[in-house]
Amino acid sequence: MTRTDWTRGEISDLFELPFGELMLRAAKVHRAHHAPGEVQLCTLLSIKTGGCPEDCGYCSQSATANSGLKAEKLMDVDAVLAAAAEAKAAGSQRFCMGAAWREPKDRDMGAVCAMVAGVKAMGLETCMTLGILTGDQARELKAAGLDYYNHNIDTSPEHYGDIITTRTFQERLDTLAEVRGAGMAVCCGGIVGMGETRSDRIGFLHALATLPRHPESVPINALVPIRGTVLGNLLADTPLARIDDIEFVRTVAVARIAMPRSMVRLSAGRESMSEAAQALCFLAGANSIFTGDKLLTTANAGEGQDAALLAKLGMVPMQAEEPMRKSSPDRGGGSGTLTEGALSAAWAPSTTPLRVAVPLPVPGRNE
């Protein structure tokens, strides 16, 4: 049963379960709602990098960060479509486009909508993350063919003010409401390992699991501490630089149980996890990953590595439709399936790895 009335105590009790018991429960919930051997492949492209006026403490794209990342202009529509075609050929079913903005300007909406329409016309699912949206902008994006909008709550309401000061938790919820109101699916998650307590991780998942409707996609990032960012300067080279693997897997398992029909996506930080830790995450109910070498500006496990790991685990690219999208009255029409050609391409050793248009080898924003 999908519930949106979870109490913090119930989420806390799940976190406190013996690890084996928690894994067993999460795996059962996963099997009841998803094909357990399947994993969704997504590709993420930074369409506008750096120079963001927000001050998210984890992000190298913030203008306040001293990370050496150069601000760039919005990419040309044709360049974005070329990257999307490459992603499709490599087996991705969803193409996510991210811009380092506080909010999109009206003058950018034409180009952004053209990107959405072009990617959609290729038969890919479309996702964007552009910052705060007005209702009109949300409707414009929906009309252009946008299936998903990503807007993370990042952390618990209590911890939020320690991480970001330039926009409020409530503003995030307001944008999510506009996205829902326009009839788009929601991608919303956050980052763990930002110096938060377990109580914050409980509050983070509680906030997601008590939204009026669970997000269709829940990205769970592990912080990649980047020198020059507030959190990178605080945490890099300390014992807190990396969240404990077992605590990360617990977080994934609790997300799976609390939001049974959502896709739980391993995002930033995956490249530094061992294969065993990733395998535990899949067992705990994670069923979506980003493929390619980069996540916006952070390093990511490459396709070849992913193919080898998933083959080792006997997992295949997702073929079933997402449970929440299948039943959604306002679904955008993406097929959610891979063609046979794309399937074999997805697992063939990659000679042309996907790249996002971010040349700097520095890690950056967590998706």
- The residues annotated with a catalytic role in the active site are 52, 56, 59, 96, 127, 187, 265
Task: Please report, as residue ranges, which positions from 328 to 367 form the binding site for ligand SF4 (by CB under 6 A).
Answer: 365
Q: Find, among 263, 353, 338, 245, the residue nearest to 305 by Cα.
A: 353
Instruction: Enter the tokens of residue 284.
Output: 């705990």
Q: Give least dist CB 54 to ligand SF4, A.
A: 4
Tell me how far apart the alpha carbons of residues 240 and 224 are, in angstroms, rounded to a whole number: 11
> Of 32-40, 54-62, 168-176, 226-234, which segment contacts ligand SF4 by CB under 6 A?
54-62
Is position 131 an interface residue for ligand SF4 (rule: CB under 6 A)?
yes
Residue closer to ligand SF4 by CB (options 120, 365) is: 365
Applying CB under 6 A, among 62, 92, 175, 291 the residue interacting with ligand SF4 is 62
Q: Can you give 192-246 as a three-state secondary structure string?
A: ECCCCCHHHHHHHHHHHHCCCCCCCEEEEEECCCCECEHHHHHHCCCHHHCCCHH
Applying CB under 6 A, among 45, 59, 87, 280 the residue interacting with ligand SF4 is 59
Q: Give the per-residue contact string, 285-324, with ligand SF4 (x = CB under 6 A; - = no).
A: ----------------------------------------
Q: Give least dist CB 204 to ligand SF4, A.
A: 16
Instruction: Enter the tokens of residue 244.
Output: 């404990």
Applying CB under 6 A, among 26, 54, 91, 315 the residue interacting with ligand SF4 is 54
> Of 52-60, 215-223, 233-241, 262-270, which segment contacts ligand SF4 by CB under 6 A?
52-60
Residue closer to ligand SF4 by CB (options 43, 152) is: 152
Q: Are 127 and 97 spatial neighbours (Cβ–Cβ below 8 Å)?
A: yes
What is the DSSP code string of 278-329? Answer: HHHHHHTT--EEE-SSEETTEE---HHHHHHHHHHHT-EE--SPPHHHHT-T
Q: Are 36 and 30 spatial neighbours (Cβ–Cβ below 8 Å)?
A: yes
Tell me how far apart the alpha carbons of residues 129 and 141 are, in angstroms, rounded to a whole number: 11
Percentages of the chain per state (helix, strand, coil), in multiples of 5: 40, 15, 45
Residue closer to ligand SF4 by CB (options 52, 81) is: 52
- Applying CB under 6 A, what is the total number of residues that bind ligand SF4? 9
Q: Give least dist CB 251 to ligand SF4, A.
A: 20
Residue 63 burial (CB count, 10 A): 13
Task: Please report, as residue ranges, which positions from 67 to 106 form the binding site for ligand SF4 (by CB under 6 A).
Answer: 100
Residue closer to ligand SF4 by CB (options 145, 190) is: 190
Residue numbers at the binding site for ligand SF4 (CB under 6 A): 52, 54, 56, 59, 61-62, 100, 131, 365
